[in-house]
Amino acid sequence: MRICILGAGVIGLSSAYYLAKLGFDVTVIDRQKGPALETSFANAGQISPGYSSPWAAPGVPLKAVKWLLQEHSPLKIGLKPELDKFLWVSKMLRQCTSAAYDVNKSRMVMLAEYSRDQFKLLRQELNLTYDDAQKGTLQLFRTQSQIDSIQKDMQVLKKLGVPHQLLSAKECSEVEPGLSAVQDKLQGGLRLLGDETGDCFVFCQKLKVACDSLGVKFMFNTDIERINVKSNAVSGVMTSQGELAFSKVLVCLGSYSAKLMNDLKLSIPVYPVKGYSLTVPVNNEQFAPISTVMDETYKVAVTRLGGNIRAAGTAELNGFDLSLPESRTKTIQHVVHDLFGQGCNLDEAQYWCGLRPMTPDGTPIIGGTSIKGVFLNTGHGTLGWTMCCGSGRVIADIISETASEIDVSSLSIHRYH
């Protein structure tokens, strides 16, 4: 059975791998010259089921106002009026209730936990290394009110059996000795013992090689223009290389998925939320992180990836803008300097930005559509690296009409209708 996958980011690649393993004849198309050169290129490196939470949460609208006024703000909303942004924000605000948060968080943790387990299997199967580490992650709190507000998350983690520990500031610096010098700035932390870290770009390069050996065909430097549909069934894909005939198409275009689906009159609420990262070599082991430290105050994650520190964060709602202004990287610089300033020389940092494909409820959109043969695996937002293997595995189950190991009914686009 032939299938065309649109997009060679981490989601397209993992889908290609699992579909090829089931015997599908897979073609992957991407406009870049190789895999993972857009949002999957330099993310924060966290594989974090324990930190899988929707942004839409009770109290977030008020917090957002405070963040916008903060010097090192984790949030920026572009002033340019834009209908898609307005519609997306209003849908997101409707998800900021306690009841919606519980449902959304449970769905996200379910998929993320499953994905982490698939990562383990894949590592064994392919003997993969990708600057990966299985050392848990640490969410850092600088105020008592942050510790108080984490209690609800801990109840959900307990209910779902996700191993976690609430730590004092001293215990945080025992887990992450690089923090000893700044222990007095901290109130405590939440340790997520099952979380992992790794370099998404390196993983994608290696998964591409595994896909090659399963016979997956890649068409790089190829623009996808539209999906062709006849009598409500897909007939092919129009690209810069001409029209290609396919009766099954899987859309994994990250933030660009919505535009392609709009052309088919199928609306999917995926909006680009821009984030920034920096990568800097470690020059003093004693003051460097050993895994991910997530600074809750600034929403910046600082991760150890091999000999480097990768720090990433901030959320900017400003369309498809990919500029890299110095003013917006200051917050991540500030956090690295504040926590691990003696472990690296920030003058050597390299900067990057990417567009997170966000849904209003935080959960990705995985499954079929009302058009026969058109499937979606997109909208992974802040957690596409964490959820890639699970998402690839379940979309392969759905397309091959095999029962999945987790409940996938709530992941489809139908939850928005």
Given a contact cutoff of 8 angstroms between Cβ atoms, the answer to whether 360 and 91 are in contact is yes
Instruction: Work out whether 118 is an interface residue with ligand FAD (CB under 6 A).
Output: no
Instruction: Work out whether 136 is an interface residue with ligand FAD (CB under 6 A).
Output: no
Give the side-chain half-sphere CA count within 13 A for 91: 19
Please give the sequence-ordered ranges of beta strands (E in DSSP) within 193-317, or none if there are none. Answer: 196-197, 217-219, 224-230, 233-239, 242-245, 249-251, 271-281, 292-295, 300-305, 308-317
Instruction: Work out whether 186 is an interface residue with ligand FAD (CB under 6 A).
Output: no
Taking contact as CB under 6 A, which single stretch among the options 98-106, 145-153, 178-186, 253-261 is the one that binds ligand FAD? 253-261
For tokens 């990836």, the residue is: 305
Query: Distance between CA atoms of 375 and 365, rounded to whole angstroms?
Result: 10
Cβ of 345: how many Cβ atoms within 10 Å?
13
Query: Distance between CA atoms of 139 and 150, rounded to whole angstroms?
Result: 10
Q: Which of 5, 11, 19, 190 binds ligand FAD (CB under 6 A)?
A: 11
Q: Which of 359, 355, 370 is nearest to 411 (CA)?
A: 359
Cβ of 169: how many Cβ atoms within 10 Å?
18
Question: Closer to ligand FAD at the Cβ: 187 or 228?
Answer: 228
The binding track of 279-318 with respect to ligand FAD, each residue x by CB under 6 A or -, is ----------------------x----------x------
The residues in 376-405 that bind ligand FAD, with binding defined as CB under 6 A, are: 378, 380-386
Q: How far is the CB of 116 from ligand FAD (least distance, A)?
A: 10
Question: Closer to ligand FAD at the Cβ: 178 or 354?
Answer: 354
Taking contact as CB under 6 A, which single stretch among the options 83-91, 179-187, 270-278, 334-342 is the one that binds ligand FAD? 270-278
The residues in 199-228 that bind ligand FAD, with binding defined as CB under 6 A, are: 223-224
Question: Closer to ligand FAD at the Cβ: 104 or 169?
Answer: 104
Question: Closer to ligand FAD at the Cβ: 101 or 218?
Answer: 218
Q: How far is the CB of 371 from ligand FAD (least distance, A)?
A: 18
Instruction: Work out whether 268 is an interface residue with ligand FAD (CB under 6 A).
Output: no
Cβ burial, residue 191 (10 Å; 0-12/13-18/19+) = buried
Instruction: Work out whether 243 is an interface residue with ligand FAD (CB under 6 A).
Output: no
The binding track of 322-361 with respect to ligand FAD, each residue x by CB under 6 A or -, is --------------------------------x-xx----
Given a contact cutoff of 8 angstroms between Cβ atoms, the answer to whether 76 and 414 are in contact is no
Please give the sequence-ordered ranges of beta strands (E in DSSP) within 161-258, or none if there are none. Answer: 164-168, 188-192, 196-197, 217-219, 224-230, 233-239, 242-245, 249-251
Q: Which two tokens stand for residue 58?
A: 């009770």
Residue 256 C-alpha from the chain's centroid: 15
Residues in the interface with ligand FAD (CB under 6 A) total: 40
Q: How far is the CB of 336 from ligand FAD (least distance, A)?
A: 14
Q: How far is the CB of 275 from ligand FAD (least distance, A)?
A: 3
Q: Which two tokens stand for residue 233?
A: 């069934």
Please give the sequence-ordered ranges of beta strands (E in DSSP) within 300-401, or none if there are none. Answer: 300-305, 308-317, 350-358, 365-368, 374-378
Taking contact as CB under 6 A, which single stretch among the options 42-50, 53-61, 65-73, 146-154 is the one that binds ligand FAD? 42-50
Distances (CA, A) of 230 to 205, 227, 245, 367, 386: 36, 10, 12, 20, 36
Taking contact as CB under 6 A, which single stretch among the options 24-32, 102-110, 128-136, 168-176 is the one that binds ligand FAD? 24-32
Query: Distance between CA atoms of 38 and 34, rounded to whole angstroms?
Result: 10
Taking contact as CB under 6 A, which single stretch among the options 8-16, 73-81, 95-103, 212-220 is the one that binds ligand FAD? 8-16
Q: Which of 3, 5, 10, 294 binds ligand FAD (CB under 6 A)?
A: 10
* Residue ranges binding ligand FAD (CB under 6 A): 7-12, 30-32, 36-40, 43-46, 223-224, 252-254, 256, 275-277, 301, 312, 354, 356-357, 378, 380-386
